[in-house]
Chain A
Amino acid sequence: MRHRYLFEQMIRRELRQKYKGSVLGVLWYVINPLVLMGAYAVMFGVLLKAVSIEDYPLFLMIGVIVWVFFSQGLLLAAPSLVIQSALVRKVRFPRETIPASVVAVQLVTFAILLTLLVPVVVAVRGTLGPQLLLLVPVSACLFAFVLGLGLAVSVLHAHFRDVEPILAAALLPWFFLTPIFFRVDELPGLSSHRWAEALLEWVNPVAPFIEAVRALLYDGAVPGWDVLLYVAVAAALALAVGRALFVRMERELAVVL
């Protein structure tokens, strides 16, 4: 990649701006998902007894870290060009490095969380096996997926400032419809609505990513070929569309910002 060094500098800048004056620094990225996971584990697993999934906190945590990567990546990418408008208006450089560095910082967090989580899940669930190697390509696909959408929302938000609030509003219901704290095929309400099961599993593009990571790590199995294919196609499609949109819409950025 031609702009590797610039990209590296932009990531450093992003990290520095994020953590100036914060004592715990990068640790916050680990603490936030843990708090979220803890709340859901207590609520659904202990108090409501709504689910009877083994090692529920670990089950939850896998969905939570994928979701946090996806949602934080998009939420932080959306306003990124507007935040860096001084730079965009005064220097000519590859502007895609702005949203890309934001998403890359979220990838780093995701990688750290996953690295911490893998030994724990493997030890508790006994899922050590060669299938774990597939976590690398699946994570790469997840990165490409979030990056593509991040490019799109950042350049769209620069032109239409409604994009970020719309996104923020959409992500809350989206979270509950995503199989983070449940398995789609175990939802009791779905037995009479089989079509809704397909909807939750296949129309929501985040679901297959969670399903894939969960199969590899929590179940110790290779996900179905349909899930893997979906993940790869979603990544390629998001990246292609996001890049095309960015290239088309970035020309006027210095004017609209």
Chain B
Amino acid sequence: MSAALSPGEAVLERASRSFDVRADQARTVKEVLLRRDAQAHGPPVVRALDDVTLTISPGETVGMVGRNGAGKSSTLLALAGIIPLHSGRAACGGRVVTLLELGAGFSRDFSGRENAYLNGALHGLRREDIAARMPAIEAFSGLGEFMDVPVRTYSAGMFLRLGFAIAAHLDADVMLIDEVLAVGDEAFQRRCEDRIATRIAEGMTLVLVSHDLGAVERVCERTVVFDAGRVAFDGPTAEALAYYRRLAGERSEEQVRA
């Protein structure tokens, strides 16, 4: 699959993926047996990614914007290898670290520290690698003695602090972030952005999906605008956001008229 991608590269080639809305719900044997019957009714297939081609070079910071269901998150999931494509190719070079949902890789009964080990292991690190990074993770999170308390007692902000602190110290070549930074307070968001800038300078690639256009503007040099599963615009962030605002305006006018 990853035919000679260098660390930090991320590529989508003519990537397509659709979701059968009914297949999203778990099927029981009865439903499978009666499948043909069920397919007659029900909504059409949703094309989440429709022939998307993107080439992201090492060290790039790429924002992805678009309305709900436009294909941003599917792109991220495809790049992470979490959902397979129906056609085309999606691949990243080097170590991919995902921050797609707060506390997704956490065990609620583990302490912050134990979760750092678990999360590191999920991303393919060994115990000694994680131990070496622990002081930095602890310092960055600012959680203090909460590092040794089960995370089920954490607030959303604390989850973010821990989650980002771990993700930012796993030596990612490609980091994929979906909309999680928004829950942090402003000071911590700045700290995250500074940390990202440091890692970018070291050659990391960042792909950030967000509805927070301010954050995209501050962090990303390049931005991709998605619309209905396709790339509507791909270029410098200032131009892309201007395009997106125009598109969003048109769309809401259409809705008003309709």
Contact = CB atoms under 8 A, between A and B. Distances in A.
B208 to A, nearest CB: 16
A193 interface: no
Interface stretch (A83-91, A104-112, A144-152, A206-214): A83-91
A17 B115 CA distance: 13
| A contact face: mostly helix, strand, loop, or mixed | helix
A91 B29 contact: no
Contact of B80 (A13, A17, A87, A92): A92
Given A9-B117, A256-B23, 4 more contacts: A5-B125, A5-B126, A5-B127, A86-B104
Contacts of B252: none
Contact of B32 (A158, A160, A254, A255): A160
A93 interface: yes
Contacts of B82: 88-92, 254
B96 interface: yes
Nearest to A82: B26
A160 B29 contact: yes
A251 B84 CA distance: 6
A183 interface: no
B29 A162 contact: yes
A6 B122 CA distance: 6
Given A251-B84, A254-B83, A256-B24, A93 B123 contact: yes
A162 B77 CA distance: 28
22 contacts: A3-B124, A6-B122, A9-B118, A9-B122, A10-B121, A12-B118, A13-B110, A17-B107, A17-B109, A87-B104, A89-B82, A90-B82, A90-B105, A91-B98, A91-B105, A91-B123, A93-B123, A160-B28, A160-B32, A162-B28, A254-B77, A255-B19
Interface residues of B, number: 34
Contact of B107 (A13, A82, A91, A251): A13
Contacts of B32: 160
Interface of B: 19, 23-24, 26-30, 32, 77, 80-84, 96, 98, 100-101, 104-105, 107, 109-110, 114, 117-118, 121-127
Interface residues of A, number: 31
Nearest to B97: A91
Given A9-B117, A255-B19, A90 B26 contact: no
A94 B104 CA distance: 15
A92 B100 CA distance: 11
Nearest to B127: A5
A49 interface: no
B47 to A, nearest CB: 14
A252 interface: yes
A3 B19 CA distance: 31
Contacts of A161: 26-28
Contacts of A256: 23-24, 26
B26 A160 contact: yes
B100 A90 contact: yes
B121 A91 contact: no
A237 B118 CA distance: 32
B204 to A, nearest CB: 17
A194 interface: no
Given A92-B82, A160-B28, A20 B109 contact: yes
Contacts of B29: 160, 162
A233 B159 CA distance: 48
B84 A252 contact: yes
Contacts of B114: 12
Contact of A91 (B24, B104, B109, B126): B104
A159 B104 contact: no
A91 B172 CA distance: 14
A88 B81 CA distance: 11
Nearest to B176: A92
A16 B127 CA distance: 19
A252 B84 CA distance: 7
